[in-house]
Amino acid sequence: MNSSRNSAQDKKIVIAIDGFSSGGKSTFARMLAARLGYIFIDTGAMYRAVTLYGIEHGAIRNGVPDRERLVGMLGEIAISFRFNPRRQASDIYVNGECVEEKIRGIEVSAAVSSVSSIPEVRRKLVALQQRMGKDKGVVMDGRDIGTVVFPDAELKLFMTADPKVRAVRRYEELRARGDDVSLEEIERNIRARDRADQEREVSPLRMAPDAVVLNNSDMTLAQQMEWIEPILEEKIRGI
């Protein structure tokens, strides 16, 4: 992707990536940002960070948020990203503590859709995301980036994959970390999150009308990078 990287040095764009959970959005977005020299912002991690804070401070019990209590805590939560040279990626911090590993657990996964449906939470994080991307040169992934956060993004992608494929990917990731989980539990969680993300009243998961679909069920990451090259070149040439 050398040609895209050289072009992007002079012409910065916003790349908005939306799609279903565990579809490989963050991995794809992180690699794309690295190749272009762009900033990668994992908005899903931001919602997970709020969820983790709620769990640790008693505002979420058994996967159910106490909305009033959690909203009251929002002013206490300072979210930031710091580059981790070991991973060659950014870690997420809450109030100065790195929570990159903590937010990936099944307890957070089970509650994050409920938290992300709370309007006050979305308003706080959308405003933060828009500030982070105001100077362009960013790759941002989430559920409503191309529809709400950056509806004018120059390039919008919608990533999807078969739920069973996504469940296997998530299962292998968690098992590699040493988490004791079952494939069946993860698939149930993924399907439940798909429904919750699409059916919530505030900023539901929708594909932007001008988004390009990437179904990566049968694609390697290298194949996805090859697939995006001509699309990216066309978008950068067009600005």
Is 72 annotated in a binding site? The answer is no
Determine contact, residues 48/37, Cβ cutoff 8 Å: no
Question: Position of tokens 């539990």?
Answer: 185
User: Within 10 A of 239 (CB to CB), how many other CB atoms are there?
Assistant: 11
Is 19 annotated in a binding site? The answer is yes
Residue 106 three-state SS? helix
Is 105 annotated in a binding site? The answer is no
Rounded Cα gap, residues 125 and 110, in angstroms: 20
- Helix, strand, coil content of the chain in percent (nearest 5): 55, 20, 30
Exposed, middle or buried by CB within 10 Å (0-12, 13-18, 19+), for 206? middle
Tokens of 74: 């929002």
Is 21 annotated in a binding site? The answer is yes
Residue 173 three-state SS? helix
User: Within 10 A of 131 (CB to CB), how many other CB atoms are there?
Assistant: 9
Rounded Cα gap, residues 21 and 158, in angstroms: 12
Strand order in the sheet with 89-94: 79-84, 89-94, 97-98
Is 117 annotated in a binding site? The answer is no
Is 24 annotated in a binding site? The answer is yes
Q: Give the annotated binding-site residues for ATP.
A: 19-27
Binding annotation: 19-27
